[in-house]
Amino acid sequence: MSKSKRLPLKFPITGKDFVFGFQHMFAMLGATITVPIFANMSIAMAMIAAGIGTIIFYFIAKRKVPVFLGSSFAFLPALIAVVGPDKEMYSAAWQEAVASVAIALVLAGLVYVILAIIIKFVGVQKVKKLFPAIVVGPVVLVIGMILAPKAFQSNIIGQTDFEAWKSWTTAIVTALTMILVNAYAKPKSFLKVIPVLLGFAAGYVYAFIISFLPGGSLMSYMISDAAGHFSHFDFGQAFSAERIIIFQHIGQEFSFYLGFSSPTFGTTLVSAILMIVPLAIVTFMEHLGDISANSTVCGQDFMVDPGLHRTVMGDGIATAVSGLLGGPANTTYGENTAVLAITKNYNPRNIFIAACLAIVFGMFTVFADFLATIPAPVIGGASIVLYGMISASGLRTLVDSKVDFNNTKNLIVVSVTLAIGLGMGAMSLIGDVTGNTIYKVMIGDVEISPLAIATIVAILLNLIIPNSKEPTEEQERAEDNAFVNLAPSAADIELDKLAEENAERMEQQEREKAELSASPQKPEGPENGE
């Protein structure tokens, strides 16, 4: 089984490293800022909290797991119910609501910590027994298929401010660029590892060009309302104090959070706790699915090394810190796993750089203004490829493990998991579009995600249904290795090789320096006595 490696965090960081980081930051951006928009929370703080949370996770997971933590959609209904769009931002009622959310998220993070401690004592092997290939495969497939229709609805079909052909062609240009770069770029070329960024660039340029044509503008700031927004791009003032959120809104954005005052114990706080804290169990199941997918894509068993208890601990602490900063709950992002799948570049340092960039982008308003100009169809086009790659990883798990579908148990577990995950995912999408919660699984005011339900169903069916026939020795070996892809790509092998060579070279240099300093200096010329 492939063992994860802690790649060195080298300084200075190269230009390529920044490009890789930008790519991951763009992948998480759309979803991360969407949550605070709907929840009436600070976008800037959501980005800053996501970056800080990811850095926390990075070090808790021993710098081995390439995972980005962004705003969690699972908590969105609860956040909307507590904060609410009816509360004016920074008003007394809004601050009371956000403070209540902060306490609830700290408690939710504590649930994660408790689960991590339990996993540590119980052992990850017992947890892994719950995740054979017939569970991991369909769950990973469901992750991509649940995300895909939402991408179409939110970013392509659902856009009504401009003609449909503009939306579709922009999405196609973006997706096609990513596909062609990934297919035709030389295996070891720089282009091979930045198809997502190139797709965003091509889609952005195309959208800018066609925005001048009749039928509505795709560029929300730069063209449609230029008179009111071009001032945002005054780079001469970009880095002055008033352009930096951390200083611009010190009386609003930060004094409340850093000088934390407890909210009044009342309906708002109790409601926040009752609605938010139980969601930790739901998102824990999502965490298992996301770590499974990440392990499958990277070809390394992160549940064993650095350990599931560490990834769960990192997720929980990140969520608690995000709450204290005034941001939404954090969670592992499938979007970034998709970037890993398509680029084959699994270096966790790229995620660390993306986290730092998210913090910077959150602090400086000029960057946020620019990001706001990215048309939704560009994000939608990229999502077509990225989400499909996640689902393909699930199919690969089933193929690599040589799952026998003549076995009744395997057939039932996979088929029912897919039916429930995809069926409930479609119903949940209808609920998002219509606003009717009858299409969602609700326990009180708490929505249970289709992914969590599908994961639970897959685990239970695998436990209660007996095997109709004994597996062969070949199938058992494949099953043991099915949790992760044990055939890393050439790019992955090359990356690991370079990292090892660099570490060995540095160690050799240190040894030579030590030997040189320890040896006595001999005078030049003939030795004494000659």
Question: What are 110-148's pLDDT values in tens digits?
Answer: 999 999 999 999 888 787 777 788 887 888 788 778 778
pLDDT recorded at residue 242: 41
525 pLDDT tier (thresholds 50, 70, 90): low
Asked if 380 contacts 155 with a C-beta cutoff of 8 angstroms, the reply is: yes
pLDDT recorded at residue 492: 44
pTM of the predicted model as reported, rounded to 2 decimal places: 0.63
Which structure tokens are listed for 38? 């709907």
Inform me whether the pLDDT recorded for 365 exceeds 80.
no
| Identity of the highest mean pLDDT range in 128-142, 228-242, 249-263 | 128-142
- Stretch 434-445: mean pLDDT, rounded? 70
| 389-419: b (≥16 Cβ within 10 Å) or e | bbbbbbebbbebbbbbeebebbeebbebbbe
Q: State the Cα–Cα distance between residues 31 and 333, nearest whole angstrom.
A: 9
Encoded amino acid at 149, one letter: P
Mean pLDDT across the chain: 75
Inform me whether the pLDDT recorded for 230 exceeds 50.
no
Inform me whether the pLDDT recorded for 325 exceeds 90.
no
Sign of CA pseudo-dihedral 274, 277, 281, 283: positive
Inform me whether the pLDDT recorded for 344 exceeds 70.
yes
Residue spans of the domains in the chain: they are 15-491
Inform me whether the pLDDT recorded for 385 exceeds 70.
yes
Residue range 157-203, pLDDT digits in tens = 877 677 888 889 999 999 999 899 888 888 767 677 678 778 888 99
**Tokens 């609700």, residue located:** 442
